[in-house]
Amino acid sequence: MTQAHERRKQPEIVRRALLDCAAKISLDQGLPAVTLQAVADAANVTKGGLLHHFPSKQALLKGVFEDLLQRLDAEIDELMAKDEEPYGRFTRAYIRAFAKTDSGTEGDDGEDPWNALPLSSLTDPEMKAMWSNWYAARLARHAGTDAGATLSLARYTADGIWLAGLLDYAGVETTDRTEMLDKLIALTRKEKT
């Protein structure tokens, strides 16, 4: 048997391409455009190759969502490592990570990594549970430094600013948005007495 036309399998590279292509299609064309065939074609693999990694569209979308949460985790951890003040550190990192999602900061491929799944995917019970579990685990991990109503208010407000950017709400100028984020960050600082 000749090996002239045999190519090495690289499952992690294929899986990464499938996740990236599904996210890009969702971002560019919306969730309904994310079909197994469209993702397979975009990743230059067979539909069978896609099904080897993700047995259904739901499994693929779950994989994209899990990947985005891992990337968000890494972003927040990186921002926290640069912050020397323990009080509110997680909240500041959370605000800054979400502020990047619609402020022109993009991923390596030029696309915004956090908005890859449209808001409609958050109505899925499984993805909502994944988000809730991720959020609860992060808050539990940082309960000693990021508990309390003021820090919760800052995080929820950051969520609203992110949502407004995702939905392209009119009326919030970039300077207003920057000022709002600066005020949110100020809320996360411990008052000096």
Tell me what pLDDT residue 56 has: 96
Collect all residues with Cβ–Cβ distance below 8 Å to 25 and sequence separation of at least 6. 33, 34, 38, 39, 42
pLDDT digits (tens, 9 = 90+) for 161-173: 888 777 776 666 6
Tell me what pLDDT residue 26 has: 87
Domains and CATH numbers, the chain: 11-187 (1.10.357.10)
Band (pLDDT 50/70/90 cuts) for residue 192 is: low
pLDDT at 178 over 50: yes
Q: Are 25 and 42 in contact (CB under 8 A)?
A: yes
- Closest CA relative to residue 94, chosen from 139, 149, 148: 139
Structure pTM?
0.80
pLDDT digits (tens, 9 = 90+) for 131-157: 889 999 999 999 999 999 999 999 999
Tell me what pLDDT residue 82 has: 96
